[in-house]
Amino acid sequence: MVLYIIYRAESAHPPAAFPIITLQCHSKKALKEAFCATPLGVTTATQKEYDLILDIRFIHNLLRSTVQSCYTQTPALTQKHPVKESPLSLASLESLTLEKLQAMEDSSPLSHVISVIHKGTVVTGDIRSVVSDLEYLEPLRTKIMKDNNWTPAHFDLIAWAEYHAAFKKIPRSHQISIAKLSHQLWNTNCQNSKYYGQPAECPICTKTIETVGHIFQCPHQEAIANQKEAFQTMVTSIQKSTPSLVLEALVSGLTQWSTLSQSTTIRSPKVGSRLPSLQIINTAFDAQTSIGWEAFHRGHVTHLWKAAYQQHLRPQKPLTSSQLTFATEKWIKLVITSVWIYSKKLWKFRNQVTHGKMETFTISKAMRLLHDEVRALYEQFNNDPFMLPQTR
C-alpha cells in the first residue's frame, strides 16, 4: 500500500514537485539495508522485518530512473513519531478508490511523510501480516464459525494465539494433516459417500456413518482398545505439568464425550461446588462444553483453562508475573499438541483398517467387497435378465 501511494504520488507529481519521501521503519538496520547497494543475504531477506524493505527495493528497481534520488531516511530513526490520523491512514485506504485518490491528488499535494496507521499505531514493519489480516481474517472467522456452528462468543473463547503458536511448532509435514483435522476435512466415509457415492459406514464397526466425530467414538472393541492406549499416552504427556484438578476435569470431559450418548449432558466433575477455586474449573469446563469436546480434539481449546491452570498451579518456587504467563502459555500449547497427537493416532488406526493393513479387518473388508459384488450382480440381473456374469 505504501508502495502504491509512492507510485501514484510519483505519477501525479514530477520529481521536482515531489522531491522527498520519508520512509519510517522501526528497524534501523533494516532501513540501512534498504539503501545499501549490495544485495540482501538470504538469511536477512527471510526475516520478517525486511518484508517492507524487500518490496521497496523491488519498486526501487522498477522506477530506478525517477525514484532513485527521492528517498531519504528520517533524521532520527529511534525518535518516536507522533501518531496522527492522516488521509492516507490504512483505515481510510480500505475504502480508497482510484477516483477518490485522483480527487485527493487534484485537490492537494500529498504529504511528503507517508505513514501507514492501523488502529492508532504507525505500522513500521511486518506490513504483510497487517494487510493480510485485514483482507482475510474476517472471512476466515465467518467460515470457521459457520463450519462449527459457533457464535462470535464461542469463537472468542478459543485460545487462538496458543493454537497458532502450537501449529507453527509442528513439522510442516504434520501441519497439513492437522489443518485438515482442524477444519474437519479428513477423508471419512461420510465424505466419500457425499462426493463419490461410496458406502458411508465406518470401516471398523460398519454400523454407524463415519463422521470425524465417530473416529473418536467408534464403539468397536478394537477401536476402543486403540483409543484407550492413545488416550493414556496423551494423559501421560500432560500429567506432569497439569494441576491434578484441571487434569481430572479435562479427562472427565473428553471421556464423557467419547463414551456417553449424545443426549446425555456433559457435566464437570466439580459441578455444584461453591468453592471459587473449583468454580474457575467449572467455568472453563462449561465453556469447553459449549464450544464442543469434539472441537477440543481438533485443538480448539478454550483460553479459560489458563485461569484454571494458574489458580491451581503449585510451583516449587514463587513465579513472577511474566514467568507465570510463560508457563501458562507453554502448558496450553502442550495440551493442544498432545491432543493433536492423540487424534492423529486414531486416524492412523482407522486408515490401517480401511487400507486392509490389519489382518482382523482385512477379512471383514474382503467380505464387504464380496457382498457389494453380489448385490451389484443381482441389480444387474434385475435390469437385464439376459446378462451373463463374466465368471460363467
Min dist CB 299 to Zn ion, Å, is 23
- Say whether residue 40 binds Zn ion (CB under 5 A): no
Min dist CB 239 to Zn ion, Å, is 28
Q: How many residues bind Zn ion (CB under 5 A)?
A: 4
Q: Which is nearer to Zn ion, 93 or 223 (CB)?
A: 223
Answer for which of 63, 131, 144, 205 binds Zn ion (CB under 5 A) is 205
CA angle 285, 299, 338 (to 5 degrees): 95
Q: Grid cell 518516536 — which residue? A: 80
Whether residue 133 contacts residue 280, with contact meaning beta carbons closer than 8 Å, is answered with no
Site string for Zn ion, 208-227 (x = CB under 5 A): ----------x---------
How far apart CA 281 and CA 247 sit, in angstroms, is 10
Q: Which is nearer to Zn ion, 218 or 304 (CB)?
A: 218
Min dist CB 320 to Zn ion, Å, is 49
Answer for which of 90, 204, 238, 332 binds Zn ion (CB under 5 A) is 204
> Using CB under 5 A, which of the segments 11-19, 54-62, 196-204, 240-248 binds Zn ion?
196-204
Min dist CB 348 to Zn ion, Å, is 15
Please state the φ and ψ torsions of residue 122, each to the nearest 5 degrees. Answer: -75, 125
What Cα–Cα distance (Å) separates residue 235 from each residue in 99, 248, 253, 288?
60, 10, 13, 18
Answer for which of 88, 114, 202, 284 binds Zn ion (CB under 5 A) is 202
> Using CB under 5 A, which of the segments 203-211, 226-234, 259-267, 366-374 binds Zn ion?
203-211
Please state the φ and ψ torsions of residue 53, each to the nearest 5 degrees. Answer: -60, -40
Min dist CB 200 to Zn ion, Å, is 11
Q: Which is nearer to Zn ion, 218 or 278 (CB)?
A: 218
What Cα–Cα distance (Å) separates residue 239 from each residue in 31, 280, 285, 293?
48, 19, 18, 19
Q: Which is nearer to Zn ion, 209 or 370 (CB)?
A: 209
How far apart CA 346 and CA 231 sit, in angstroms, is 10
Residues from 250 through 279 that contact Zn ion (CB under 5 A):
none
What Cα–Cα distance (Å) separates residue 168 from each residue in 23, 158, 161, 201, 260?
31, 17, 11, 34, 34
> Using CB under 5 A, which of the segments 27-35, 202-210, 250-258, 291-299 binds Zn ion?
202-210
In eight-state DSSP terms, residue 113 is B
Min dist CB 223 to Zn ion, Å, is 6
How far apart CA 91 and CA 88 sit, in angstroms, is 8
Min dist CB 170 to Zn ion, Å, is 27
> Using CB under 5 A, which of the segments 204-212, 226-234, 236-244, 382-390 binds Zn ion?
204-212
Min dist CB 372 to Zn ion, Å, is 18
| C-alpha closest to that of 198 among 212, 183, 187 | 187
What count of residues does the chain have? 392
| C-alpha closest to that of 231 among 203, 255, 204, 199 | 255
Question: Can you say whether the dihedral through the CA atoms of 321, 325, 330, 336 is positive or negative?
Answer: positive
Binding residues vs Zn ion (CB under 5 A): 202, 204-205, 218
